[in-house]
Amino acid sequence: KNEVEQSPQNLTAQEGEFITINCSYSVGISALHWLQQHPGGGIVSLFMLSSGKKKHGRLIATINIQEKHSSLHITASHPRDSAVYICAVCNMDSNYQLIWGAGTKLIIKP
């Protein structure tokens, strides 16, 4: 079993839909990152969370430390949101290495 699991693996939606991507982890963490990677592009860090909820524009990230679960939401989705979204956790026991989820490939159709 992977230490960081994301769902769904692939998601196709229409422009304007509300998007939710989930991340569950099994290790003790100091923080959780949500990152975005466009095809052929570099990785951009969207959020770093250790508790609660953060919002930036149309993106919202939440984390429940007790349940070891995080969600990334996109409101009023747009085709430019199409990318791979990756959840990664800072493992407290491994000198703060990031443990990565496999990513969720999101396609927003116009």
Partner 1 sequence: DTGVSQNPRHKITKRGQNVTFRCDPISEHNRLYWYRQTLGQGPEFLTYFQNEAQLEKSRLLSDRFSAERPKGSFSTLEIQRTEQGDSAMYLCASSLSGGADTQYFGPGTRLTVL
Does position 48 bind partner 1 by CB under 8 A? Answer: yes
Give the residue from 28, 21, 104 showing the smallest Cα distance to 65. Answer: 28
* Consecutive H or E run containing 11: strand 10-14
How big is the site for partner 1, counted in residues (CB under 8 A)?
Answer: 23
Give the residue from 54, 48, 52, 32 showing the smallest Cα distance to 100. Answer: 32
Does position 42 bind partner 1 by CB under 8 A? Answer: yes
Residue placing its CB nearer to partner 1 in the complex, 17 or 100? 100
Cα separation, 37 vs 69, whole angstroms: 21
Does position 72 bind partner 1 by CB under 8 A? Answer: no
Q: Which positions lie near partner 1, rule CB under 8 A?
A: 30-31, 33, 35, 41-45, 48, 50, 86, 88, 90, 92, 95-98, 100-103
